[in-house]
Amino acid sequence: MPDVQIIDVSPRDGLQNEQVIVSSEKKRMLIEMLVKSNIRKIEATSFVHPLKVPQMADAEQVLKLCEELSEIELVALIPNLKGFQRAKQTKISEINWVTAATETFNYKNIGMSIEDNFAQFKQLVQESRTLNITICFSIAVSFGCPYEGKVSPVKVISLVERAIEAGANRIGIADTIGIATPKQVKELLTEVLHIAKSIPIAIHLHDTRGMGLANAYAALEAGVKIFETSASGIGGCPFAPGAAGNLATEDLVYMFERMGVKTGIDFEKLLDAADFAASLTSNRSLGRIRQVEKKRGSFG
């Protein structure tokens, strides 16, 4: 059994900010390549308004194309109840409900207050259980906001407590603009894990300032076992000015495996997926290992 779980978000977070529309078939190809590398949970798409994020307008089609892929959990990001009404018509394993730790970012990202967003979240919990769909409650800008600056851990902790009480199956803590330091990550995640008890906690890291791997290590030290990353480090939030891509999946796998932390992922096949992911975006990918590794699959 792996020591940690890697959730790859490149088909969603990696591509959502890409201006050139990637075909549903190519998105499906990326997902299949990730599956071949033995990644078993993938955030495939999001049910957002097509005018706000045109890249995700084909959410239903992407999930339909992936129906025959076995032994995989497909996750879809959901910003509101309208998105949930669309998502529940598909064969998804988990919805990733996103709120933010600051009011300004919440309005910019999903067009409503934190309280209104949370009220909608509580409405869908029971129906999700009936449909056998698990729920991750993710908190964006948990360490810093492009509009309000530093975020108090108290705000994040309060949302964690409320989400667990409302029925979240998993909690996601996101460094949306890549501003966290290892000290901040370890301190916040230690407290979140203490509160959550048996509820799984995931960390979602962006590598904007080159701190992604250090922050992942800090999260691991705190006790986090679930990491959301993106093949080739592609991505960025359209509502977070200046936010670069995610922590590269291959970089994190390389570090963990060199440390003796088992991921269960086929590194050589992951590099193939990372190469393909990079080919789908016009932005510079952030993955570092691919740039220096000459012998494919080598941990030397």
Instruction: Return the domain boundaries, the chain.
Output: 5-285
CATH number for 5-285 (one of 3.40.50.300, 3.20.20.70, 2.60.120.1270, 3.90.550.10): it is: 3.20.20.70
pLDDT-based confidence at 294, cuts 50/70/90?
Answer: very low
d(CA 284, CA 131): 39
d(CA 58, CA 66): 13
Q: What token pair was written down for 96?
A: 């990733």
Does residue 237 have an active-site annotation? yes
In one letter, which amino acid is 287? Answer: G
Q: What token pair was written down for 171?
A: 């909690």
- How many other C-beta atoms lie within 10 A of the C-beta of residue 89? 11
Please say whether the beta carbons of 256 and 270 come within 8 A: no
Contacts of 88 (CB under 8 A, 6+ apart): 127, 128, 131, 133
In one letter, which amino acid is 102? Answer: T
**Interval 159-169: pLDDT, tens:** 999 999 999 99
d(CA 247, CA 233): 5
Contacts of 291 (CB under 8 A, 6+ apart): none
As a whole-number percent, the residues of the chain with pLDDT over 90 amount to: 85
Query: What pLDDT does residue 239 have?
Result: 56
191 pLDDT above the threshold of 90: yes
**Interval 132-189: pLDDT, tens:** 999 999 999 999 999 999 999 999 999 999 999 999 999 999 999 999 999 999 999 9
pTM over 0.85, yes/no: yes
**Interval 194-224: pLDDT, tens:** 999 999 999 999 998 899 999 999 999 999 9
Which candidate in 66, 136, 145, 237 is catalytic?
A: 237
